[in-house]
């Protein structure tokens, strides 16, 4: 039996939209039938790349079109809620780029609407579909790292400065969703500091600290003003430590058999109390499929199979809550805020 292809409409063809269109077009059981952007130059760009496909400037027309089954939202974050809500109301399955919405109340309302309309609602937590992150979770699940001790994530480069959100809302959804996926539990508290240097009142450099149960600590450094691009995550465990460097063309993940062990014998001198272990470095094989392709595939499969996607809307809501709490702490000069 041949299954009809899911007809996808993509709203927003700026920086990220083209990647979504390209990956949805690669799927066998889906096709992009319609694209929309309010900017003329982006529509012209699209027409050159995809002659024969339609692009409009009216997103409302797209979400109401009976020729569209599912809607992908790749517009600025401040527009996510309105567009996703209307698409759900029109009975479409919806994929919203990260973060799900600009506020937990809005994210919660979208989830409630998707449940009422029995539609799939997914969020673009792309790194959950990245071979490196999948491998780290596999290693953690197998107990290879021992007990987790800390995570430390840096996401820095020059720009692209957004004009509706600060750097936390723009970049930290990646790091926080990776941590949520790896640790499978929420933090106890969040604190954040940051600063705005462009006179717009939107922080362009920020540092977030999260405390998890069992003394696990995590740090997220997000920066729009870095002269170099850094995409690096450290995961420390009692047995092994991992470095994920996304700038590495290959060997993105390295597992270090390194660590320290402390003796609790009180009568030994300091240098005998701490033992350093420096063992081998292991470079695991990774699934090199483009994360976005895995993500697009999961969206379509979750609709067809009537199941939740991996990057489900509940995970979107958890991350939006953390972003809100981080910004609350930011407004209180970094005072820790408890996570309920
Ligand atoms: N998953 C990832 O790795 C990743 C990476 C980059 C961006 N993103 C997300 O993708 C989304 C878009 O980011 P971007 O960097 O492409 O921004 P962008 O500003 O480059 O592109 C957004 C586009 O949406 C268009 N637009 C705005 N309002 C519209 C409307 N009402 N109707 C139709 N078109 C409209 C704009 O003209 C623009 O071309 C954001 O949510 C961002 O967080 C995700």
pLDDT tens digits, one per residue of 91-111 = 999 999 999 999 999 999 999
Q: How confident is the model at residue 261 (pLDDT cuts 50, 70, 90)?
A: confident
Lowest mean pLDDT among 10-24, 239-253, 257-271, 304-318: 257-271
Distance 216 CA to ligand 1 centre (A): 34
- Please determine, for residue 268, whether its predicted confidence score (pLDDT) is greater than 80: no
Q: Across residues 191-207, what is the average pLDDT?
A: 95
DSSP class of 269: -
Sign of the four-CA dihedral 277, 283, 284, 288: positive
- Please determine, for residue 275, whether its predicted confidence score (pLDDT) is greater than 90: no
Q: How confident is the model at residue 174 (pLDDT cuts 50, 70, 90)?
A: very high
pLDDT at residue 272 in the model? 66
- What is the residue with the minimal CA distance to atom 39 of ligand 1? 14
- Please determine, for residue 80, whether its predicted confidence score (pLDDT) is greater than 60: yes
pLDDT at residue 240 in the model? 97
Q: Residue 193: which of 222, 157, 216, 160 has the closest Cα?
A: 222
Distance 43 CA to ligand 1 centre (A): 14
Ligand 1 pocket test, pick from 22, 56, 61, 75 with the greatest ligand atom count within 8 Å of Cβ, gives 75
- Please determine, for residue 2, whether its predicted confidence score (pLDDT) is greater than 60: no
pLDDT at residue 270 in the model? 61
pLDDT at residue 340 in the model? 85
Distance 11 CA to ligand 1 centre (A): 8
Query: Facing residues of 226 across strands?
Result: none
Q: How confident is the model at residue 274 (pLDDT cuts 50, 70, 90)?
A: confident
pLDDT at residue 203 in the model? 97
- Please determine, for residue 163, whether its predicted confidence score (pLDDT) is greater than 80: yes
Distance 266 CA to ligand 1 centre (A): 58
Query: Burial of 108 by CB count in 10 Å (0-12 exposed, 13-18 middle, 19+ buried)?
Result: middle
| Residues with C-beta less than 6 Å from any ligand 1 atom | 11-17, 36-39, 42, 59, 74-77, 79, 97-98, 124, 126
Percent of the chain with pLDDT over 70: 96
Decide: 316 and 107 in contact? Cβ < 8 Å. yes
Using the atom order of ligand 1, give the atom closest to the CA of residue 77.
41
Q: How far apart are CA 66 and CA 110, in angstroms?
A: 21
Using the atom order of ligand 1, give the atom closest to the CA of residue 170.
43
pLDDT at residue 273 in the model? 78
Using the atom order of ligand 1, give the atom closest to the CA of residue 59.
32
Q: How far apart are CA 268 and CA 328, in angstroms?
A: 46
Q: How confident is the model at residue 66 (pLDDT cuts 50, 70, 90)?
A: very high
Using the atom order of ligand 1, give the atom closest to the CA of residue 97.
41
Distance 14 CA to ligand 1 centre (A): 5
Beta pairing, strands 253-262 & 274-282: antiparallel
| pTM score, whole prediction | 0.96
């Amino acid at each position: 039996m041949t299954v009809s292809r899911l007809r996808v409409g993509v709203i927003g063809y700026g920086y990220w939209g083209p990647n979504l269109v390209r990956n949805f077009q690669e799927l066998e059981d889906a096709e992009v039938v319609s694209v929309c952007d309010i900017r003329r130059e982006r529509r012209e760009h699209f027409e050159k790349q995809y002659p024969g496909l339609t692009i409009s400037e009216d997103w409302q027309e797209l979400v109401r079109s009976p020729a569209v089954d599912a809607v992908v939202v790749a517009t600025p974050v401040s527009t996510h809620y309105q567009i996703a809500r209307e698409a759900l109301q029109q009975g479409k399955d919806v994929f919203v780029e990260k973060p799900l919405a600009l506020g937990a109340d809005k994210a919660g309302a979208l989830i409630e609407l998707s449940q009422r309309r029995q539609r799939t609602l997914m969020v673009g937590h792309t790194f959950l579909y990245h071979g490196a992150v999948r491998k780290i979770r596999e290693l953690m699940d197998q107990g290879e790292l021992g007990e987790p001790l800390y995570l430390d994530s840096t996401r820095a480069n020059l720009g692209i400065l957004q004009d509706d959100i600060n750097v936390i809302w723009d970049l930290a959804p990646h790091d926080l969703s990776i941590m949520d996926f790896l640790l499978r539990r929420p933090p106890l508290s969040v604190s954040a500091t940051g600063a705005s240097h462009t006179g717009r009142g939107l922080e362009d450099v920020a540092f977030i600290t999260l405390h998890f149960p069992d003394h696990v600590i995590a740090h997220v450094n997000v920066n729009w003003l870095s002269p170099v691009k850094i995409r690096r995550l450290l995961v420390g465990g009692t047995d092994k430590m991992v470095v994920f460097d996304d700038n590495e063309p290959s060997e993105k993940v390295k597992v270090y058999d390194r660590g320290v062990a402390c003796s609790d014998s009180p009568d030994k001198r300091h240098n005998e109390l701490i033992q350093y272990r420096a063992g081998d470095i292991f470079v695991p094989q990774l699934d090199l499929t483009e994360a976005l392709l895995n993500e697009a595939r999961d969206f379509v499969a979750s609709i067809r199979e009537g199941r939740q996607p991996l990057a489900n809307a509940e995970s979107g809501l958890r991350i939006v809550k953390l972003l809100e709490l981080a910004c609350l702490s930011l407004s209180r000069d970094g005072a820790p805020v408890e996570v309920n």
